[in-house]
Amino acid sequence: MSDLTISPFLRIVLRVEEFIMTRLVPMDGPGPVFRWLFKTPVFFYRIGLPIFSGFVLLLTTTGRKSGKARQTPLEYRFEPETCSYIVMAGWGGKTDWYRNARTNPNVHVQVGKRRFQAIAEPLPEEEVTAWLMQVAKINPRALIMFSRWAGETLDGSEAGLRRAAKHFPSLRLRPVDAGN
């Protein structure tokens, strides 16, 4: 995907995301307001209007302490060659959904109206680096976000993004039955 193939709507979404993530969201966690805002797509999925499904999936994990089902909307990248979805954790992986999926990798995923069981597998840092590079090519302003969360100014070089990759632990959500 090149910058020219991004729809005007997605361009607006990316700009809003960059503004929110670089200027408004606290570094120590989303806090109650952003936690609520980030969960908004769950409501649309529940009422059968997955309007964000082109870039947001709904991940259901099992709480590592409570054992209860926990739903989290996440931006994703689809990997056609593996029929898998890649999701990235913020806050250096100190998010509940990420820790839940690492504790119990058997997860449930909904993308649009498609629902399936999946295994959450950690993505090697080389693949995270490649993803960061791809995102930066599509949206150069993403480097501003990556810089903030990695704690260093990134110029888009492979070496810089390789150093940053450890701050963005990611999972491959591999469907248990790819034919589903």
* pLDDT by position in tens, the chain (length 180): 344 466 777 778 777 877 877 777 777 766 677 777 777 887 888 888 777 778 899 999 999 999 999 999 999 999 999 999 999 998 889 899 999 999 999 999 999 999 999 999 999 999 999 999 988 888 888 899 899 888 899 999 999 999 999 999 999 999 997 554
pLDDT at residue number 178: 52
Domains of the chain, by residue range, sit at: 3-175
18, 103, 121 from 14: Cα distances, Å: 6, 31, 26
As a whole number of angstroms, the distance between CA 34 and CA 24 comes to 9
Place of tokens 């888009």: 156
Q: Which listed CATH number (3.40.50.150, 3.10.310.30, 2.30.110.10, 3.30.70.120) goes with 3-175?
A: 2.30.110.10
| Contact predicate 153/117, CB 8 Å | no
Amino acid identity, position 88: M
Amino acid identity, position 36: W
As a whole number of angstroms, the distance between CA 70 and CA 19 comes to 27
pLDDT at residue number 22: 75
User: pTM value?
Assistant: 0.80
pLDDT at residue number 86: 96
**C-alpha atoms less than 13 angstroms from C-alpha of 80 in its C-beta half-sphere:** 0
pLDDT at residue number 163: 95
